[in-house]
A and B are shown apart, each in its own frame.
Chain A
């Protein structure tokens, strides 16, 4: 303990007290994040069992076998694997943008205009989550079949002349599934951000001559930008790991997302290493996105302080 701290005994104690609050979180991260992450790395750099032929993790970094990793990177740069990454990225980007288009007005309405119904509305937004994700996707499979309700309604309204084959490997179907599956996760943080905006700030904007549209664009939207970002991150991360939506709503290789390839590899005895290496590549990619998020949050916090 430094001399200064000894002199101010109370403060000295506090110096340990507050950081110790982080201990459970740090332990949590070590047990549930760092360890599994290392296990994946050990698997990606692993060897194949001489008898069972399955991938075994190598725990000692000095004995890591990089051949699988090199293969995966090679396939990524020279083969078709890049296409799968690109497809995944496009799906996630489009689905996120659509979710935002759908989710923002909803969150805006609930936060600003729903009055005494807001709790009810929030509950209704969360209500679909009482049903398992798979059940909801399977319901979509039924709705989207050739003679399903979606086609019937679209034909009744006159949008379609003939039933559309939604389930035979259509990009839009998978994106629709993703949007449907994840949009409520976007609405909640957006709602929180919009709810926090001080009504008086907007009134001030109006008083100073801004039209409603200007007030929205120059005050509300910038003030909710952190909520938008947080919501997008929250839905993008699980979307990158989603292999189910495409499997259920399509099943065609044309719509396979990267997580499907990981899943297919991991479920075989020989593919464990490849699956792990793909996982790492995906994580690095997602980590880059996260870095941008953290960076922009930090910048926004700085700006808010100054």
Chain B
């Protein structure tokens, strides 16, 4: 399932589904599907096309005549600003500040699962103003005309405060539809009291998961896009944006091997909660999850045993995911000017840094100095490797939108891994 770094409390989402299972008894497993069936109306138009860029081949997202940007110099609407965001992905105090400054109300609605959010938005029957798309999904959202083009007159903070590379990103040159919100890495978290190897010193740190020494204490994310990538990285394959049958097969077999070799377990809360609790000694980990991890250490335990490595920074040639989340104004927004104001507000240095202090996921702000984060204790010293700098984007791989056929092949490989024959 395509989880997201923010998807840290899937139980909330699933409880209702479980209730459905129980109520529906025989048709049990079908319960969840009802949600999926609601969106019979496809908003896709044959005229639009999904334009996917890459670092080597940056793209401008297409503009459409029937999807104009708002005029410059307008007064913001009276609100309320309706924000549709991942659960626990913004500091409520920042929202309060925005309310005060613009004298409007902010209505926050949250989701746990990007697919669910996408389907809701596609019905066209929801009236949110601002959404938080992943970099990967932007091309689909533009082609599906879910986002409106941004008027940069309202967004002076973008050029001023944001890493140049993300102020004009390859997936949306000229930031026509989106501005960046946070950046993250996918690496490996471990505990020095349970894992003897210095994982960061390995040529290919991903191989640590295949060490039988760590049987029973190794975990990977329950996420096909992320974890099949690990299966590829183990063999040094870094092309994580295609579906070469050989690469997929290799990844699949590598992951299947883990089932018996180390009793691998697939979790979504493994890194930020189970690793500090000592249930796992080594776990696949998003950088933001690791920033959180020390707060999940049981009382009396020493957070200095936690370590993090993003394999591209190890001495070998290993790969690793690096990506970012974004803010965008929805096409159907009732308060588009206010939406732009909100985007600009979140790109403010101080606001972004304040938000980071609670959120754990780093904003791509020029002024944010890695050293300072460690000095002021936002990030503990032994986890300084979770800090992201602009050049990380040149070292790692960014997952891009797969074609539906490719996506299906990834998913099939994942299903085979999960069958646990």
Contacts of A269 in B (CB 8 A): 2, 115, 118, 407
A263 touches B30 (CB 8 A): no
- Among residues of A, the one whose C-beta sits closest to the C-beta of B22 is A238
- The listed residue (A39, A167, A237) touching B33 by CB distance below 8 A is A39
Question: Closest approach, in angstroms, between the C-beta of A66 and any C-beta of chain B?
Answer: 16
Most buried by A among B30, B44, B402, B403: B30
B263 touches A (CB below 8 Å): yes
B32 touches A37 (CB 8 A): no
Q: Which listed segment binds A: B309-317, B354-362, B383-391, B408-416?
A: B408-416
Q: Which listed segment binds A: B87-95, B233-241, B264-272, B327-335?
A: B264-272
* Bound-complex Cα distance A54 to B253 (A): 26
Of residues 44 through 85 on chain B, the ones whose CB sits less than 8 Å from some CB of chain A are 44, 46, 48, 50
B32 touches A36 (CB 8 A): no
Contacts of B22 in A (CB 8 A): 133, 238
* Bound-complex Cα distance A264 to B216 (A): 23
B290 touches A (CB below 8 Å): no
Question: Closest approach, in angstroms, between the C-beta of B276 and any C-beta of chain A?
Answer: 14
- Among residues of B, the one whose C-beta sits closest to the C-beta of A253 is B420
B140 touches A52 (CB 8 A): yes
* Bound-complex Cα distance A267 to B21 (A): 16
A165 touches B224 (CB 8 A): no
* Bound-complex Cα distance A157 to B48 (A): 69
B15 touches A134 (CB 8 A): yes
Contacts of A133 in B (CB 8 A): 18, 22
* CB 8 Å contact bits of B109-146 with A (1 = contact, 0 = none): 00001010011001000000000000000001001100
* Bound-complex Cα distance A266 to B14 (A): 12
Contacts of A57 in B (CB 8 A): 37, 40
Contacts of A271 in B (CB 8 A): 408, 411
* Bound-complex Cα distance A80 to B412 (A): 12
Contacts of A87 in B (CB 8 A): 420
B165 touches A (CB below 8 Å): no
Q: Which listed segment binds B: A14-22, A198-206, A275-283?
A: A275-283
The answer to whether residues A256 and B40 also contact, given A241-B21, A251-B266, A269-B115 and a CB cut-off of 8 A, is no
Contacts of B151 in A (CB 8 A): none
A50 touches B32 (CB 8 A): no
Question: Closest approach, in angstroms, between the C-beta of A277 and any C-beta of chain B?
Answer: 11
B219 touches A251 (CB 8 A): yes
- Among residues of B, the one whose C-beta sits closest to the C-beta of A237 is B25
- The listed residue (B11, B216, B403, B418) touching A260 by CB distance below 8 A is B418
* Bound-complex Cα distance A84 to B420 (A): 8
Question: Closest approach, in angstroms, between the C-beta of A238 and any C-beta of chain B?
Answer: 5
* Bound-complex Cα distance A77 to B42 (A): 34
Contacts of A49 in B (CB 8 A): 42, 44, 404
The answer to whether residues A270 and B407 also contact, given A37-B27, A251-B267, A252-B259 and a CB cut-off of 8 A, is yes
B279 touches A (CB below 8 Å): yes
B33 touches A43 (CB 8 A): yes
* Bound-complex Cα distance A243 to B420 (A): 15
A12 touches B (CB below 8 Å): no
* Bound-complex Cα distance A54 to B140 (A): 11
B368 touches A (CB below 8 Å): no
A272 touches B (CB below 8 Å): yes
B421 touches A48 (CB 8 A): no
Question: Closest approach, in angstroms, between the C-beta of B233 and any C-beta of chain A?
Answer: 19
A259 touches B (CB below 8 Å): yes
A52 touches B144 (CB 8 A): yes
B28 touches A54 (CB 8 A): no
* Bound-complex Cα distance A279 to B37 (A): 14
- Among residues of B, the one whose C-beta sits closest to the C-beta of A241 is B28
- The listed residue (B21, B265, B418) touching A168 by CB distance below 8 A is B265
- The listed residue (B140, B402, B419) touching A81 by CB distance below 8 A is B419
Question: Closest approach, in angstroms, between the C-beta of A208 and any C-beta of chain B?
Answer: 41
B29 touches A255 (CB 8 A): no
The answer to whether residues A52 and B37 also contact, given A168-B265, A256-B419 and a CB cut-off of 8 A, is no
- The listed residue (B28, B122, B265) touching A237 by CB distance below 8 A is B28
* Bound-complex Cα distance A266 to B20 (A): 15
B418 touches A36 (CB 8 A): no
Residue ranges of B at the interface with A (Cβ–Cβ < 8 Å): 1-2, 11, 14-15, 17-18, 21-22, 24-34, 36-37, 39-40, 42, 44, 46, 48, 50, 113, 115, 118-119, 122, 140, 143-144, 215-216, 219, 222, 224, 256, 259-260, 263-267, 279, 402-404, 407-408, 411, 414-421
25 pairs, A vs B, C-beta closer than 8 Å: A33-B27, A43-B36, A49-B42, A53-B404, A54-B115, A79-B419, A80-B416, A80-B419, A134-B18, A165-B216, A167-B279, A169-B259, A238-B28, A243-B29, A256-B420, A263-B32, A264-B1, A266-B36, A267-B1, A268-B2, A269-B115, A269-B407, A270-B408, A270-B411, A275-B36
Residue ranges of A at the interface with B (Cβ–Cβ < 8 Å): 33, 36-37, 39-40, 42-43, 48-57, 59, 75, 79-81, 83-84, 87, 132-134, 145, 165, 167-169, 234, 237-238, 240-244, 250-256, 258-272, 274-276, 278-279, 282-283, 286-287, 290
With A49-B42, A238-B28 already in contact, 9 other A-B pairs whose C-beta atoms are closer than 8 Å: A48-B404, A48-B408, A134-B14, A169-B259, A238-B21, A251-B219, A253-B420, A270-B404, A283-B27
Q: Which 8 A-B pairs have the closest CB atoms?
A: A241-B28, A253-B420, A267-B1, A53-B404, A251-B265, A80-B421, A270-B407, A39-B37
